[in-house]
Structure 1
Amino acid sequence: MPAFRYLVGAVFSLAAAVSQAADPDQAIRATLSKLQPDLPIEAIAESPMTGLFQVHLTGGRLIYASGDGQYLLQGNLYQFKDGNAVNLTEKAASKGIAKLIDAIPQSEMVVFAPKQPKTYITVFTDTDCGYCQKLHSEVPELNRLGVEVRYVAFPRQGEGSHGYNGLVSVWCAKDRQQAMNKAKSREELPPGKCDNPVMKQYEIGQMVGVNGTPAIVLANGQLIPGYQPAPQLAKIALEAK
């Protein structure tokens, strides 16, 4: 995930004038607007740690701030309870990711579903990606284990690349499943011409932190970067439903 432009270190100290706002929400927003006016803030709320506020950004990302807006930090917040460490940041981020992914219509995906799915995964894919092709060869096994596979597009080299053209061909095909099978077998497809969601899905992937393929999102929003063998992937997918 590209580094935020407003983060040059773990902590920032800003001008005292910003801290004059009495309301933490206003103070934090004032700070962030100075650092990055177009920052996509969804909500600001108290974090589980006293005195620390969490800023929810579009795509599930979180940063933390002091109530006066003078200090910001980026990182994971853990809670130690009963001898275990729980990553609270990851849990909150997963909820935001799940919300964004679940808003993508299935009609805009390429779906491989078993007759009786037990859970599902959403896979950001590039037809030119070797590990994407390997994962695709194991889709029948994932289906057999009860995991529905929902593909969304993520052309790693961006618009106009060979991978982008391949994904457009898949999404514009009359039979998307058949086209995906061919593309993942390194078969060249006819050029695709239609209104398609390839770049929209690419942008969603960037928002949730995808920077390579395959990137797998479990039903609970947990993001798993990279290939996982079918038995292992099915196990964690079923645990996350």
Structure 2
Amino acid sequence: MRLKHLTAGLLALCATQVWADVEQSIRQSLDKLNFPMAVSAISETPVNGLYQIQLDNGRVLYGSADGKYLVQGALIAVNDGQPRNLTAEVEAKAIGEVINGIPREDLVIFAPEQPKTHITVFTDVDCGYCRKLHEEIGDLNELGIEVRYAAFPRAGVDSKTAEVMGSIWCADDRQAAMTRAKQGKSVTPVTCENPVAEQYQLGAQVGVQGTPAIFMANGTLVPGYKPAQALAQEAIANQ
């Protein structure tokens, strides 16, 4: 019995050392590349010898045990002819945690009294489809959807749009200022410490390439405008 316990202990110790070597090799490879995003976790995948590299922004890479090969792309599991995007599932969960971690006080929120779920929209006040979506804010609220706006001025943080969005976030009534801007009306210039630049950077990190970029509560991304009824159904299905 003691021999059995000793053998099991040695095997566990060996496995721990092997895993430590794998993690060290992968991290060293990324360090040599001056990889711009920090690694939050490294774990095994269903594919022998392939390891999942979870980045701080929620995105995923894959690497070989020796760290000599890195792969960017979707890992698809095929069971009985049914494809399942494992990469998308992992990324959505992690990105959802990042997006849902934005403090409420840093967002412009339009909420019903009893929301069924929420969406986070990276928006640009000069974007045509962002304005169209905002016209349906009332409909979304009536359907039980809380809309949380984050800033993503497409022209960059030094643009006139970013300046206007900064004034919105600094306004006494952010909702009214957002609505004025989305209607093409002027917004009173105000300056204060605001999260516009930080949210723009976060949006870029999680894969926002255009606006509106709509994230469901579970982290699933809907790129672009959808009518209120369809968007509400998708939001409820992806809580």
**What TM-score comes out, normalization by structure 2 length?**
0.89
Ranges of 4+ aligned residues in structure 1 off by more than 4 Å: none
Of structures 1 and 2, the larger Rg is shown by: 2
Superimposed CA distance per residue, residues 135-161 of structure 1 (whole angstroms, 9 cap, x where no aligned partner): 000111111111100001011111221
Q: Which residue of 2 aligns with 1:201?
A: 199
Q: Which residue of 1 aligns with 2:156?
A: 158
Q: Which residue of 2 aligns with 1:84?
A: 82
Q: Is the 8 A contact 2:109 2:149 kept in 1?
A: yes
Q: Is the 8 A contact 1:32 1:39 kept in 2?
A: no
Structure 2 unaligned spans of 5+: 1-18
Q: Which residue of 2 aligns with 1:31?
A: 29
Structure having the higher helix fraction is: 2
Cα 1:37–1:73 change in 2 (3 A) is: closer
Q: Is the 8 A contact 2:131 2:182 kept in 1?
A: yes
Structure 1 unaligned spans of 5+: 1-20
Q: Which residue of 1 aligns with 2:44?
A: 46
Alpha-carbon distance between aligned partners in 1 of 2:214 and 2:25, rounded to the nearest angstrom: 36
Q: Is the 8 A contact 1:58 1:207 kept in 2?
A: no
Q: Which residue of 2 aligns with 1:192?
A: 190
Return the match for 2:114 from 99, 113, 116. Answer: 116
Comparing 32-41 with 169-178, greater Cα deviation is found at 32-41
CA RMSD of aligned residues (A): 1.3
Q: Which residue of 2 aligns with 1:137?
A: 135
Superimposed CA distance per residue, residues 84-141 of structure 1 (whole angstroms, 9 cap, x where no aligned partner): 2111000100111111111111011110001110000000001111110000001111
Q: Is the 8 A contact 1:24 1:68 kept in 2?
A: yes
Alpha-carbon distance between aligned partners in 2 of 1:26 and 1:41, rounded to the nearest angstrom: 12
Give 3-state SS (helix, strand or coil) of 1:23's partner: helix
Aligned residues between the structures: 221
Quote how far apart the aligned CAs of 1:22 are: 7.1
Return the match for 1:104 from 102, 105, 116. Answer: 102
Q: Which residue of 1 aligns with 2:12?
A: none
Alpha-carbon distance between aligned partners in 1 of 2:115 and 2:47, rounded to the nearest angstrom: 39
Quote how far apart the aligned CAs of 1:83 are: 3.2
